[in-house]
């Protein structure tokens, strides 16, 4: 038996699927890390660390939330407190990631990439805080806010992992053709402009 609250009735399968997906993607992320061996001795390794770790945190966070919500709690209050603390910690971590990325002087992100790596995680954590407050106030929107945060974490994690994988593959095979921005700094992700796309990777292979 999981959270004994009428608001959560019917959500069990959703959290099971979300937790399973997060665990699967986290495992696949370790496969992506093995592609970074050739970049270990280059400055790009710092960029890989700055962007891969938050993705792992997103997937780990979804798995954690799913386990919390599926645990046999006597009421929704403990769940609300845990989710609320998770939301505050997540916002703090998102600010840390933003500062970390801004210190990478060889990385240039466009608006879409900043949204994926900074804006979306902050929005997801705000949804968690709203869901926690809704649980305490016994509002019916609470499960939907929590589910929205989980979906946002999952899809942002998938997008960020895909961008990182394309960049790693492209720079490992043809590092001299790494795309740059107007200031001459190499771009780290497959965003707009002359970034590496799936078609580029296919042609090179």
38 and 97 in contact (C-beta within 8 Å)? no
Provide the residue ranges of all domains of the chain, joining segments of one domain with +: 6-204
Per-residue pLDDT of the chain (205 residues; tens, 9 = 90+): 355 566 777 888 999 999 999 999 988 888 777 766 555 555 556 666 677 888 899 999 999 999 999 888 888 889 999 999 999 999 999 999 888 877 766 566 777 778 888 889 999 999 999 999 999 998 889 999 999 999 999 999 998 888 777 776 665 554 444 455 555 554 544 443 334 434 443 444 4
**Which of helix, strand or coil describes residue 39?**
helix
pLDDT at 197: 39
pLDDT at 5: 62
Name the CA dihedral angle for 198, 98, 125, 45, rounded to a multiple of 10 degrees. Answer: 50
Please tell me the distance from the alpha carbon of residue 58 to that of residue 88, in angstroms, as a whole number. 14
Q: What is the full DSSP assignment across 62-100?
A: HHHHHHHHHS--SSSHHHHHHHHHHHHHHHHHHHHHHHH
Please tell me the distance from the alpha carbon of residue 33 to that of residue 39, in angstroms, as a whole number. 10
Over residues 86-114, the pLDDT tens digits come to 999 999 999 998 888 777 665 667 777 78
Please tell me the distance from the alpha carbon of residue 38 to that of residue 59, in angstroms, as a whole number. 25
In sign, the C-alpha dihedral spanning 122, 33, 99, 192 is negative
Over residues 154-183, the pLDDT tens digits come to 999 998 888 777 776 665 554 444 455 555
pLDDT at 205: 45
């Amino acid at each position: 038996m999981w959270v004994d609250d009428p608001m959560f009735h019917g959500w069990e399968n959703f959290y099971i699927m979300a937790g399973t997906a997060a665990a699967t993607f986290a495992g696949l992320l370790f496969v992506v890390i093995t592609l970074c061996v050739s970049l270990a001795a280059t400055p790009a390794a710092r960029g890989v660390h700055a962007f891969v770790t938050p993705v792992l945190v997103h997937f780990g966070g979804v798995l954690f939330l799913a386990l919390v919500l599926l645990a046999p709690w006597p009421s929704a209050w403990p769940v609300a407190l845990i989710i609320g603390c998770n939301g505050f910690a997540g916002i703090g971590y998102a600010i840390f990631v933003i500062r970390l990325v801004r210190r990478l002087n060889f990385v240039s992100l466009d608006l879409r990439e900043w949204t994926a790596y900074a804006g979306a995680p902050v929005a997801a954590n705000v949804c968690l805080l709203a869901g926690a407050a809704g649980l305490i106030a016994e509002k019916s929107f609470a499960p939907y806010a929590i589910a929205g945060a989980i979906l946002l974490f999952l899809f942002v994690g998938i997008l960020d992992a895909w961008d990182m994988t394309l960049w790693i593959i492209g720079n490992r095979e043809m590092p001299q053709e790494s795309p740059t921005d107007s200031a001459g700094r190499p771009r780290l992700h497959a965003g707009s402009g002359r970034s590496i796309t799936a078609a580029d990777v296919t042609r090179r292979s």
